[in-house]
Amino acid sequence: MIAEERMFEDRPALASALAQDVAGELAAAIATHGAAVLAVSGGSTPKLFFAALSEAAVDWPKVRVTLVDERQAPESSERSNARLVRAHLLQGKAAAATFVPLYLNPAAAALPGFDVAVLGMGNDGHTASFFPGGDRLAEALTPLNGERLIEIAAPGAGEPRLTFTLPALEQARSLKLHIEGQDKRQVLARALGPGPVEEMPVRALLRGSKPITLYWCP
């Protein structure tokens, strides 16, 4: 459920505002319970946001950073989301945060609930690693045994993946969807319309009861 839409004139303005909002929520979580957990997405879209957030005035030693999803690939691979996060977010002030990667790290499933989760969306209507045709898509959306982190593969996903499940993401105190460009806006418009979740799995998120804040720029 998109509860709020925030629209910006360009990518730098969006990155700055999103970083400011996330930093404020992390600071509030630290003030409330002494620590914070942030889950972020990979891809090229969040790079400017990561750079802006890395310099935010947050008590970073009290923050754990993880990924919404990850390819089953080592950090030596250019397709590794962990590599992207280390290069663009865990820099400057944010270098003091604790990073919890997903690949070959089963302990990631035991992370406490996220204070902030920032999701993206692909042109095929996927979010996290909820891809059309995913071999465990139904389990990712409705885990059989309350699983928070599962393995999944899909024709359009490249490598097999690891992803936090929909219930794990919806337990985040703050859920944000970050998309850019007119093409993604059109994809979102389709996803908000009628049609099966299997066709555009982001619909499972959009049709849920968890409020989502949308950040978008042309």
| Cα distances (angstroms) measured from residue 165 to each of 19, 141, 143 | 24, 6, 7
CA distance 41 to 120: 6
* Residue 127 DSSP code: B
Contact yes or no for 45/120 (Cβ under 8 A):
yes
CA distance 24 to 30: 10
Q: What is the pLDDT along the chain (218 residues), one digit of tens a residue?
A: 999 999 999 999 999 999 999 999 999 999 999 999 999 999 999 999 999 999 999 999 999 999 999 999 999 999 999 999 999 999 999 999 999 999 999 999 999 999 999 999 999 999 999 999 999 999 999 998 999 999 999 998 999 999 999 999 999 999 999 999 999 999 999 999 999 999 999 999 999 999 999 999 99
CA distance 65 to 12: 22
Contact yes or no for 2/212 (Cβ under 8 A):
yes
